[in-house]
A = this chain, B = another copy of it.
């Protein structure tokens, strides 16, 4: 028996009470880890995450045993397991060179604040377990509502803390936010008619019959987020009725195509559940012409939702806010807090222009979320929820609008800088010009770039497929090496006659990312490319196509 350096949760009531009431020993493994994190988070991550080399299948081996152990285990044993097997094989998402996904670094103060939030363990579904967190969450909803809709003080005085209505809801992320918006839109569209009370009460099929509709459709540019597919499935619309509208060379929805499609659907008696405008497409960071989309929605009386999961915080920036002009006319707007509001994973919001919109999905129960109560869970898709709003509240106040503006401006500036660097590099091709802080590009051997320009289109198309294969291989190897990281995606590239190409994708939200990172990323890709081309027999494959 070891000398009990930390507690072991023995199965007696007395020792269990200790596990619930006596803190870890100051010198325990767990507390030492915690102190190391407090003193130097980035150092901790850098020191303990073992970059790369280990294959997923190899990592899996440490997570094979699905037997719940009968006997308790020392805390320090589990702490050691977590350090050796989990922390070491985690992804350093806060690294300045991790520029492939939307998870980046956080302001330092978020970590101790998150600990306070977890220590309080409030449940915001009902006021009885979130006495202060309920008004705090409503305040944050109000703050972001004003950022988008800038109604006057009297409006917020009246509605921010109203017991019956809500200006928006917090949720675990953008997917739930988008689903909430479309859920509201569906229930509002299929309004009471004759014996039909609501979708809410009688279901979708009865609503379609009552309204004499042949179906419902959701329209979004072909760059819309995959969460809309889930929404279309979940809400009973069907993914075939999630209509992808063509985009222009800047990945923006083409308003004339949108309007033509609306008319065509209406002529077939299909109800338009919503048009979704994108403010920051996930793959390319572009913003739809929201003003024009708003005009179309208004003239056809269609619910206009803006998916601003990524891009909505651009509203903080005096310089770039104009890109989102028209968002204030949206009926609903999604914002992800764990993206460009820089809070830890698990926080999003959906805001509604009208304070009565969320009435369409209100749920009540007897023991909580009673009608007319202060329980904000009445209007949420989720039930029990943590107090993430506290972290958003703190971010907004500690950084201020100007702090977020700086983060936005710097990110957009850096994307432009990286884009220029790629354009000035003979063996890389910029495939989408950044509008916000996201760009895509690919590696093309210098000699081939010249040839591609004059190649017959069928040959060019085959070469492009070969290059896509190369891109996949480079990205995988770079990811597995764990030094620098970009992601990859596949979509139709305007400058390549709309051929679907696989390209590298870069997201620039970490203020610690420097120009040197861009140089390192390209340099590493160039080196990997040589290896991968050899492995693929690239030259021989190319010869087959061109000859």
Contacts and interface: CB of A to CB of B under 8 A. Distances in A.
A317 to B, nearest CB: 11
Interface stretch (A236-244, A248-256, A286-294, A421-429): A236-244
B37 A116 contact: yes
A203 B128 contact: no
A193 B356 CA distance: 40
Interface in A435-466: none
Give the number of times this chain occurs in the complex, counting copies: 2
Interface string A385-425: 11100100010111111110111001000000000000000
Given A9-B107, A122-B90, A345-B386, A394 B82 contact: yes
Contacts of A410: 13, 16
Contacts of A16: 403, 406-407, 410, 511
Contacts of A134: 56
Contacts of A386: 344-346
Given A9-B399, A68-B146, A133-B90, A19 B107 contact: yes
Contact of A71 (B31, B400, B512): B400
A407 B20 CA distance: 11
A67 B131 CA distance: 22
A199 B235 CA distance: 10
Nearest to A14: B511
Interface residues of A, number: 180
Contacts of A81: 397
Nearest to A56: B374
Given A63-B135, A135-B60, A203 B109 contact: no
Interface in A16-61: 16-17, 19-24, 26, 30-31, 33-34, 37-42, 44-45, 56, 59-60
B68 A400 contact: yes
A215 B87 CA distance: 49
Contact of A345 (B90, B121, B338, B344): B121
A194 interface: no
A487 interface: yes
A282 interface: yes
A471 interface: no
Contact of A45 (B30, B120, B398): B120
Contacts of A494: none
A505 interface: yes
A354 interface: no
A2 interface: no
Interface stretch (A137-145, A527-535, A539-547): A137-145
A89 interface: yes
Given A121-B345, A128-B479, 8 more contacts: A65-B139, A72-B399, A103-B121, A179-B381, A202-B238, A203-B216, A235-B235, A366-B489
List 3 A-B pairs, minimum CB-CB distance, nearest first: A203-B238, A236-B236, A204-B236
